[in-house]
Amino acid sequence: MSSADDSPSILKLGGSLLSLPDIGDRVVSFVDRHCIANPVVVVGGGDAADLVRAWAERFQLSDRAAHDLALRAMDTNARLLPHLNRRFELIDTPWDDGIRPAARRIGVLCCHSVLEKLEVRLPRTQHLPRSWDVTSDSIAAWFAVLWEAEHLYLLKSADMSGMAPAGRSGPGVIRQVRPHIVRSLVQRGSVDRAFEVFCAEIPRVAWCNLRGSAEEPHNI
């Protein structure tokens, strides 16, 4: 287990954001602007995962086979980031192994590689579920729970318009995790179906539209 000072901050980067030519710089700017400690990025599958979905339907793949291919697609996307900005550094070992990115580097998790090493140590009851209900949102949350991360940042292509309740301290800023907000996000398809279960164990979950001009994270 990680101590509070050593635990990672998990940033889920939506795969659709890879269409932005400057996405590497945007993520680095976000990390620096918000002074995020021990940042570890989980990159979504994006177009590559959509291709796997099409294969799964066409070839009637099992959930486990499709999930394995989708995780490998996420790893391919993860391996792109170090080519976009030299601050990124790939992580292919579990956080608990104590191997950390160099100072001022931003870790990028190779999820399939790390899962293979993790799950041989964990009881089957703690393994990541394999289904289309568990996409990169829940995968990022699963790692956050396992490594006792204090923060999970969802870097998305859309805002949370209409989701902010009264009593906020700024535009769209929600003070605490509110289950009904997460349920609404699930119902809208903004996060996957399993996300509500995993995020309940994370102290702070925040949302940011990284495609927009504003980069203030909105707590959910």
What residue segments make up the domains of the chain, in order of their start?
9-219
* The pair of three-digit structure tokens given for residue 122, joined into one six-digit string: 């964990």
162 against 203, higher pLDDT: 203
Q: Where are the alpha helices (DSSP H) in the chain?
A: 23-33, 46-59, 63-84, 111-119, 136-146, 179-187, 195-199
158 against 23, higher pLDDT: 23
- Which pLDDT score, from 0 to 100, does residue 16 have? 94
Q: What is the mean pLDDT of residues 168-181?
A: 46
Q: Is the pLDDT assigned to residue 164 strictly greater than 90?
A: no
Q: Is the pLDDT assigned to residue 23 strictly greater than 80?
A: yes
- Which pLDDT score, from 0 to 100, does residue 12 have? 96
- Which pLDDT score, from 0 to 100, does residue 166 have? 38
Q: Is the pLDDT assigned to residue 133 strictly greater than 90?
A: no
User: What is the CATH class of 9-219?
Assistant: alpha beta
What is the pTM (predicted TM-score) of this model? 0.88
- Which pLDDT score, from 0 to 100, does residue 169 have? 35
- Which pLDDT score, from 0 to 100, does residue 6 have? 87
Alpha carbon distance 132, 52 (integer Å): 11
Q: Is the pLDDT assigned to residue 139 strictly greater than 70?
A: yes
Q: Indicate the range of 46-55, 89-98, 122-131, 156-165 predicted with least confidence.
A: 156-165
Nearest 10 degrees: Cα torsion 108, 113, 115, 119: -150
Q: Indicate the range of 8-17, 28-37, 80-89, 157-166 predicted with least confidence.
A: 157-166
Rg (CA), the chain: 16
